[in-house]
C-alpha cells in the first residue's frame, strides 16, 4: 500500500515537473502546455520532447519533497503501530472520546469549577490517556474509585503516587510499604504538615506526635460502640460468623471500658489493664459517677457473671485488644513522658492541606486495628464537617488513597458509606490486588456493594480470577466479527470474499483481560461505555522531577532504587 502511494507520488512529481517545464517553454513556442497526463503519454509515445534542464531540476526537487513526505508519513504510521498492543484491537468497540466527554479534562474541569477547585489545581483524579488520541482521562472530585490491579502492574506508580502529589486538599494514605511515602512526602510537605503513623517501623518514622483513640470517643457511648466494633471486626474475615455470645458480649464490654477511660482522662492502654482484671469494678464506678448508669450496669453484669462466663467475655475482649500490649504500638497512641509531643487534631486536618500516611504490615495485625480505626475516625470527621459547609460538602476535596485496603484498612462499614462520601467532597480510591481479597475483607455481598458504589472502576491487569474477568468481559460488550470465505474457480485460483458473520464475540474475552499487558487499564465509568486506557507512570508526568527528588531525600536506598532511577520519557 505504502509502496503504491510512493510510486504515485513519483509519477505526480514527474508529470508536474513536465507541465511546469512546458509552461516555461510557452514563451518561446507560444503554445499552451497540454495537461500533465497527456505530457506523460506523449513522452511514452515519443510525441513530446523532455522540456529541458529547468523541468529536470524541478522534477528532482519535487521527487525529493514527495519522498521526504512519504518517508515521514510511513515513519509515523510505523511508530504508531508499534505502540499499539494486541489488546488495542478492542478500542473501536469501546467508549469513543466523545462518549468519554464527561471524563476528559474539559468535562471534569467544569465540575471542578463548580466545587471551587482552583484552575491551577488538578481537575480530578487522573486515570490515564486514550490510546489513540492521547486525551487525558479523569474522575471528577465527587467520583469514588475502586481499583483492582494484580501485583507489580503499576497501581502505585500510575495511580497512587501521581494523584497524591496533585491532590489540592488533605490526603490520607494507607499502605503496607514505604515507597508511596518516600515518593510523595516532599511534594505534600509544600502543601501542609506531613504526619506518618508508623507503629511497625515500616518507614523509619519516629513517634514525634501521637493520636489518642479516646479523643474520637469523647465521652459518647455511641462513638465508643463504633470504635469497639471496628476493633472487633478486623479480627473477623468477611465470610466468618462471630461467636453467638462471647464476641458480641466482648465487643459491648470493650465499648463500655473505652467510655470509662475516656471520661476519666485515662489512656486507651488502661482498657487492656482492666481486661486483665475481670473482678476490678473501677470502670463500673467511673461510669456510674459519670452518669452513665446503663454502661455501669452492663459492666457490673459481666463482673458478677458466673466465673466461666465472665472469663470467656473478658478473655475474648482481651484478645481483641491485644494490640495494646506492644510498646512500639502504644508509643503512637499515648502522650508518653514528653509533654511537647503534639496530638493529632481531626478538625484542623480535614480543613487544611496536611497529609497523613498510615503504614501497617500485611501479615502482622498489631497495627491494622489502629490504622482502620484512625481512617474511619478521620472520614467521619470529614463527613460531619462537609455536612456543615456550604453546599453540604468540603470546600476543598479531601482524598483517601486506601492502598492494600483489604489488609491494612478493612473497615466493615466502608461499602455502605462509600457512595455517600463523594457527595461530601470526600474522594476515595480503594486499591485491591484481586476481587477475592476484597471479598475476604467485606464478604461477597460487601465487595459487590463496594464495586457497585464506585463511579470509576479500574482493572489494571494481573488477575486470573475467571469469574471476575468474566464479568468484565460481559461489560465490554459484544461485536460481530467479519468472516473470510473462499470460493474456488475452475482456473484453480482462489477468490477471497469478506462477508459479515452472524456470530457474536465479546469485545474483550477472559484471556484478553487475564493477559492485559502493563500500560493498559480497563475502566468502567458510571453511565458510560467502558474504555481501554493507557496508564501513565509518574516519571511521564509533570511531577517527575519533584517525585524523584522526594525519593532521593527520603528513600534510604535511593541510589539503587528502580523508582529513583526512572527517567522522564
User: Whose CA is closest to 302, among 235, 244, 236, 257?
Assistant: 257
Mean pLDDT value across the chain: 87
The kind and range of the H/E element at 534 are: strand 531-534
Check: CB of residue 442 under 8 Å from CB of residue 414.
yes
CA dist 506 → 6, 472, 478, 519 (Å): 39, 10, 4, 22
Angle between helices 293-303 and 246-263 (to 10 degrees): 130
492, 542: one domain: no
Cell of 118: 482552583
Q: Would you place residue 567 in the very low, low, confident or very high pLDDT band (cuts 50, 70, 90)?
A: very low
501, 513: one domain: no
- Residue 69 is predicted with a pLDDT of 67
- Residue 44 is predicted with a pLDDT of 65
Is residue 129 over pLDDT 70? Answer: yes
380, 523: one domain: yes
Summarize pLDDT for 208-229 with one digit per residue, the tens: 999 999 999 999 999 999 999 9
- The domain that contains 464 carries what CATH number? 3.40.50.300
Q: Would you place residue 355 in the very low, low, confident or very high pLDDT band (cuts 50, 70, 90)?
A: very high
Check: CB of residue 238 under 8 Å from CB of residue 231.
no
CA dist 306 → 145, 241, 275, 302, 312 (Å): 50, 25, 16, 8, 10
Is residue 134 over pLDDT 70? Answer: yes
- The mean pLDDT value for 162-185 works out to 97
- The mean pLDDT value for 388-403 works out to 95
Selected residue with higher pLDDT from 252 and 24: 252
- Residue 121 is predicted with a pLDDT of 85
Within a domain: residue 338? no
Is the torsion defined by CA of 465, 466, 470, 473 positive or negative?
Answer: positive
Residue where a domain terminates, one of 19, 51, 83: 83
Q: Tell me the whole-structure pTM to 2 decimals.
A: 0.83
Is residue 496 over pLDDT 60? Answer: no
Q: Would you place residue 53 in the very low, low, confident or very high pLDDT band (cuts 50, 70, 90)?
A: low
Domain count, the chain: 4
Q: Would you place residue 85 in the very low, low, confident or very high pLDDT band (cuts 50, 70, 90)?
A: confident
- Residue 235 is predicted with a pLDDT of 63
Q: Would you place residue 564 in the very low, low, confident or very high pLDDT band (cuts 50, 70, 90)?
A: low
Is the torsion defined by CA of 527, 528, 534, 539 positive or negative?
Answer: negative
- The mean pLDDT value for 345-353 works out to 94
69, 218: one domain: no
Within a domain: residue 209? no
Give me the half-sphere count of Cα atoms (radius 13 Å) on the Cβ side of residue 260.
Answer: 31
Q: Would you place residue 365 in the very low, low, confident or very high pLDDT band (cuts 50, 70, 90)?
A: confident
CA torsion 29-32-36-40 (nearest 10°) is: -40
Summarize pLDDT for 317-334 with one digit per residue, the tens: 999 999 999 999 999 999
Tallying the residues shown for the chain, one arrives at 569
- The mean pLDDT value for 59-87 works out to 61
Is residue 2 over pLDDT 60? Answer: no
Question: What is the bridge-based pairing of β-strands 520-525 and 531-534?
Answer: antiparallel
Within a domain: residue 198? no
Write the DSSP string, 94-134: S--TTTTGGGBHHHHHHHHHHTT--TTS-SSEEEEEETTT-
Within a domain: residue 88? no
- Residue 501 is predicted with a pLDDT of 52
Q: Of 223-237, 330-344, 355-369, which one has max mean pLDDT?
A: 330-344
Is the torsion defined by CA of 12, 13, 14, 17 positive or negative?
Answer: positive
Cell of 164: 497524591
Within a domain: residue 110? yes
449, 543: one domain: yes
**Would you put residue 244 in left (φ > 0), alpha (ψ -120 to 50) or beta?**
alpha
232, 149: one domain: no
- The mean pLDDT value for 292-298 works out to 98
Residue where a domain terminates, one of 49, 83, 117: 83
Is residue 467 over pLDDT 70? Answer: yes
363, 485: one domain: no
Is the torsion defined by CA of 143, 148, 149, 151 positive or negative?
Answer: positive
Check: CB of residue 248 under 8 Å from CB of residue 287.
no
CA dist 468 → 444, 453, 459, 509, 527 (Å): 12, 17, 10, 12, 20
Selected residue with higher pLDDT from 55 and 133: 133
Q: Would you place residue 413 in the very low, low, confident or very high pLDDT band (cuts 50, 70, 90)?
A: very high
Residue where a domain terminates, one of 330, 359, 389: 330
- Residue 304 DSSP code: T
- The mean pLDDT value for 142-161 works out to 97
Summarize pLDDT for 242-277 with one digit per residue, the tens: 566 899 999 999 999 999 999 999 999 999 999 999
Summarize pLDDT for 369-380 with one digit per residue, the tens: 999 999 999 999
Summarize pLDDT for 514-558 with one digit per residue, the tens: 999 999 999 999 989 999 999 999 999 999 999 999 999 999 987
Q: Would you place residue 366 in the very low, low, confident or very high pLDDT band (cuts 50, 70, 90)?
A: confident
423, 378: one domain: yes
User: Whose CA is closest to 220, among 250, 253, 263, 251?
Assistant: 263
Q: Would you place residue 78 in the very low, low, confident or very high pLDDT band (cuts 50, 70, 90)?
A: very low
Question: In whole angstroms, what is the distance from residue 182 CA to residue 184 CA?
Answer: 6
236, 279: one domain: yes
Within a domain: residue 363? yes
User: Whose CA is closest to 394, among 409, 410, 378, 405?
Assistant: 378
Is residue 497 over pLDDT 80? Answer: no
552, 416: one domain: yes
Non-local (6+) Cβ contacts of 480 within 8 A are 500, 501, 502, 503, 504, 505
434, 513: one domain: yes
User: Which of 49-58, 299-308, 410-419 is predicted with the least confidence, judged by mean pLDDT?
Assistant: 49-58
Question: What is the bridge-based pairing of β-strands 355-359 and 171-175?
Answer: parallel
Question: In whole angstroms, what is the distance from residue 107 CA to residue 101 CA?
Answer: 6
Q: Would you place residue 490 in the very low, low, confident or very high pLDDT band (cuts 50, 70, 90)?
A: very low
The kind and range of the H/E element at 355 are: strand 355-359
- The mean pLDDT value for 375-388 works out to 96
Write down the H helix ranges in 144-292: 155, 161-166, 179-189, 214-217, 221-233, 246-263, 269-275, 282-289
448, 530: one domain: yes
Question: In whole angstroms, what is the distance from residue 401 CA to residue 335 CA?
Answer: 27
Domain enclosing residue 50, as ranges: 2-83
The kind and range of the H/E element at 356 are: strand 355-359
Within a domain: residue 343? no
Amino acid at each position: 500500500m505504502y509502496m503504491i502511494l510512493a510510486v504515485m507520488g513519483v509519477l505526480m512529481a514527474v508529470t508536474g515537473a513536465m507541465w511546469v517545464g512546458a509552461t516555461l517553454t510557452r514563451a518561446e513556442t507560444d503554445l499552451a502546455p497540454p495537461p500533465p497526463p497527456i505530457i506523460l503519454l506523449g513522452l511514452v509515445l515519443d510525441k513530446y520532447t523532455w522540456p529541458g534542464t529547468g523541468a529536470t531540476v524541478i522534477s528532482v526537487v519535487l521527487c525529493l519533497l514527495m519522498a521526504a513526505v512519504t518517508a515521514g508519513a510511513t515513519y509515523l504510521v510505523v511508530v504508531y503501530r508499534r505502540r499499539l498492543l494486541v489488546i488495542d484491537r478492542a478500542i473501536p468497540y469501546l467508549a469513543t472520546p466523545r462518549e468519554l466527554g464527561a471524563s476528559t479534562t474539559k468535562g471534569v474541569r467544569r465540575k471542578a469549577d463548580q466545587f471551587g477547585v482552583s484552575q491551577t489545581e488538578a481537575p480530578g483524579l487522573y486515570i490515564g490517556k486514550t490510546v489513540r488520541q492521547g486525551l487525558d482521562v479523569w474522575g471528577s472530585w465527587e467520583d469514588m474509585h475502586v481499583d483492582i490491579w494484580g501485583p507489580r502492574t503499576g497501581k502505585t506508580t500510575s495511580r497512587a503516587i501521581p494523584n497524591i502529589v496533585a491532590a489540592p486538599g488533605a490526603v490520607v494514605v494507607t499502605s503496607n510499604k514505604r515507597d508511596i511515602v518516600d515518593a510523595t512526602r516532599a511534594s505534600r510537605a509544600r502543601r501542609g504538615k506531613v504526619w506518618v503513623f508508623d507503629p511497625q517501623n515500616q518507614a523509619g518514622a519516629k513517634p514525634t506526635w501521637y493520636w489518642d483513640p479516646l479523643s474520637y470517643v469523647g465521652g459518647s457511648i455511641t462513638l465508643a460502640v463504633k470504635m469497639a466494633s471496628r476493633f472487633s471486626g478486623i479480627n473477623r474475615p468477611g465470610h466468618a460468623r462471630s461467636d453467638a455470645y462471647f464476641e458480641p458480649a466482648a465487643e459491648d464490654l470493650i465499648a463500655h471500658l473505652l467510655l470509662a477511660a475516656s471520661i476519666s482522662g485515662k489512656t486507651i492502654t488502661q482498657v487492656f489493664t482492666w481486661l486483665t482484671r475481670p473482678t476490678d469494678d473501677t470502670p463500673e464506678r467511673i461510669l456510674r459517677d459519670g452518669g452513665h448508669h446503663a454502661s455501669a450496669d452492663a459492666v457490673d453484669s459481666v463482673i458478677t457473671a458466673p466465673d466461666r462466663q465472665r472469663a470467656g467475655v473478658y478473655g475474648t475482649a482481651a484478645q481483641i485488644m491485644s494490640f495494646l500490649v506492644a510498646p512500639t504500638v502504644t508509643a503512637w497512641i499515648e502522650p508518653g513522658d514528653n509533654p511537647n509531643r503534639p496530638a493529632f487534631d481531626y478538625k484542623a486536618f480535614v480543613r487544611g492541606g496536611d497529609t497523613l500516611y498510615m503504614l501497617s504490615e500485611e501479615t502482622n495485625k498489631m497495627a491494622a486495628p489502629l490504622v482502620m480505626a484512625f481512617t474511619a475516625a478521620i472520614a467521619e470527621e470529614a463527613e460531619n464537617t462537609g455536612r456543615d459547609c456550604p453546599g453540604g460538602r468540603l470546600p476543598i476535596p479531601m482524598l483517601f488513597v486506601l492502598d492494600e485496603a483489604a489488609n491494612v484498612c478493612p473497615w466493615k462499614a466502608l461499602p455502605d458509606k462509600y457512595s455517600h462520601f463523594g457527595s461530601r467532597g470526600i474522594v476515595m480510591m480503594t486499591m485491591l490486588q484481586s476481587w477475592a481479597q476484597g471479598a475476604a475483607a467485606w464478604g461477597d455481598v460487601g465487595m459487590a456493594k463496594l464495586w457497585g458504589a464506585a463511579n470509576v472502576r479500574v482493572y489494571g491487569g494481573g488477575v486470573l480470577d475467571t469469574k471476575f474477568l468474566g464479568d468484565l468481559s460481559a461489560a465490554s460488550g459484544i461485536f460481530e466479527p467479519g468472516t473470510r470465505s473462499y470460493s474456488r474457480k475452475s482456473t484453480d485460483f482462489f477468490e477471497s470474499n469478506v462477508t459479515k458473520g452472524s456470530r457474536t464475540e465479546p469485545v474483550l474475552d477472559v484471556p484478553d483481560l487475564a493477559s492485559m499487558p502493563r500500560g493498559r487499564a480497563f475502566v468502567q465509568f458510571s453511565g458510560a461505555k467502558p474504555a481501554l486506557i493507557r496508564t501513565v507512570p509518574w516519571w511521564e508526568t509533570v511531577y517527575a522531577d519533584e517525585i524523584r527528588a522526594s525519593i532521593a531525600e527520603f528513600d534510604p536506598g535511593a541510589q539503587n532504587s528502580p523508582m529513583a532511577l526512572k527517567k522522564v520519557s
